[in-house]
Structure formats: C-alpha cells, structure tokens
Amino acid sequence: MGALEFVEGGADVCLLRPWQRRFLEWEGTLDVHAPHEPIHGVKDFLLHLLTITVGLLIAVGIEGCVELHREHKLVKEARATLREEIEDNSKVMEGAVADLEKAKGQMQKNMDLLTRIQVNPKDQEPDGPSIDASFSNKSLKGTAWKTAETTGALGFMPYTEAQRYADLYLAQDAFLAAQDKIVEDEAQLLGVIGKTNFGHGSATQEQAGLMKERFGIWQGHLVYLDLMAKLTSLSDKAFLEGKEGPKSLHEDFGGGK
C-alpha cells in the first residue's frame, strides 16, 4: 500500500462541521503511512487499520483539547477587558447624567427668558439677554467590544451573555448618536446668531423668536440624550452588580412657557 497524505486546503472548509474545520486548520500536513512490513491476511490488515484509526482519533482529540483551551482563554480575556471597559464607561455616564440635568435646567432658563422678550421686548437687561449655550461632549470607550467581535470571542460565549454585552454597547452607541445631534444644534444656533446679530444690544421680538426656535429643537434633543444617558448608566451599573438592567425609560416633557 502507498501513503495516505492529507494536505491542508484540499476541501471546501465552508461545507464542513466546526471540528472538521479545526482539523483542516492544522499547520503543515498530516501524513498517515502504511506499515513498512508486508500485510499477511485480513487479521494484519484490520490490526493496522485499527492502529491508524486510533492514532488519528488521538491526534484529533489532542488538537480539540488545545483548541478548547484557546477558546476558554480567549473568552476569559474578553470578559476581563469588557468588564474593565464597562466600569470606565459607567463612571463617565454618571458624570453625563449629572451634567445633563444642569444643561436641561439652563436650557429652560434660556427658553423662559426668550419667551419674556417675545411678550415684552423691554423686559431684558440694557446690554441684551444673557444666554448660556454651552455643552460638553462625553467620550466612551469601545475597543474591548470591537476586539471581542474581531477575535470571535463573542461566538464562544453563551448566547444570553453575548446579547447582554451587545445591549450595553447598543445603548452606548445610541447615547453617542444623540450627543452628535446636540453638536449640530450648536452649529445651527451659531448660524442664527451670526445672521441676526443676536447678542449685540437689546434683542428684538424677531431675534428672540428665531433663537427660541433653535433652542426648542436643542431642548428636545437634550431630553432624548438625557434618557439615553440614564439608560446607559443604569444598564452599566446593573451589569457590574450582576443584576437585570432596565428595558426602557420615559420622561414627561412639555414645551416652554
């Protein structure tokens, strides 16, 4: 009998089972050779066939153990880095929730002031109204999550665990997307200020109306951003404490006076 030689890349990996794909991923080649001595009878043939079969099973078993160890190590490292990242983001979100409460309060003061000017243009300081349009962005980490996706660590986790991580980072993405809208609101407001020359002397009813319109949009975006911040913060805390996170939040919101 000749030699049976198995060469990497000789089959379509996509059509194979996971353990078969791992078998194909071995580096180099796997050579299975027939015995050097002549085979005498069926008994010798079956003996040598059994020897080859047992050898292959042992080799595949060892490789499977090595692969399983690698998967466990990958998942363990992913869990550690994800938890550390979520802890850091949780601290940032605590500050974001506090800052947004202040921002909403200041925004309502802006709306109230502009409403008074619309009703009575003389109801303002001689130098014009004092408006606060400041906003501070928050940065959140996501490297551990992206790494877990790239390395395939999430695929080795139980479905519920992987879904929990996905929910946390989806909430985080929603917060960041809502935050970008505030940045756009700032740019739009600056356009109105430049167009109307608002802030140079007393404001007219028309100026107050245009500013109030832009601040109204900003205020609506702030409410949504605040909800996303609270949802993200509560979800992060619940995860770190081993508890179930909130599914949704709501907030009653009314327009300016």
Considering only 54-68, 137-151, 221-235, which range has the smallest mean pLDDT? 54-68
Q: Is the pLDDT of residue 127 over 90?
A: no
Looking up tokens 């595949």 gives 60
Q: What is the mean pLDDT of residues 16-27?
A: 46
pTM, 2 dp:
0.70
- Amino acid symbol at 71: E
> Is pLDDT of 39 > 70?
no
What mean pLDDT do residues 146-158 have? Answer: 89
- The confidence score (pLDDT) of residue 70 equals 65
pLDDT bin (cut points 50, 70, 90) of residue 33 is: low
Q: Is the pLDDT of residue 10 over 60?
A: no
Confidence of residue 254 (pLDDT cuts 50, 70, 90): low
Mean pLDDT of 53-78: 70
Q: What does the DSSP assignment read for the chain?
A: ---EEEETT-S-GGGS-HHHHHHHT-SSEEEEPPPSSPP-HHHHHHHHHHHHHHHHHHHHHHHHHHHHHHHHHHHHHHHHHHHHHHHHHHHHHHHHHHHHHHHHHHHHHHHHHHHHHHH-TTSS-TT---------------HHHHHHHHHTGGGGS-HHHHHHHHHHHHHHHHHHHHHHHHHHHHHHHHHHHHHHTTTSSSPPHHHHHHHHHHHHHHHHHHHHHHHHHHHHHHHHHHHHTT-PPPS----------
Q: Average pLDDT, stretch 192-211?
A: 88
pLDDT mean across residues, the chain: 80
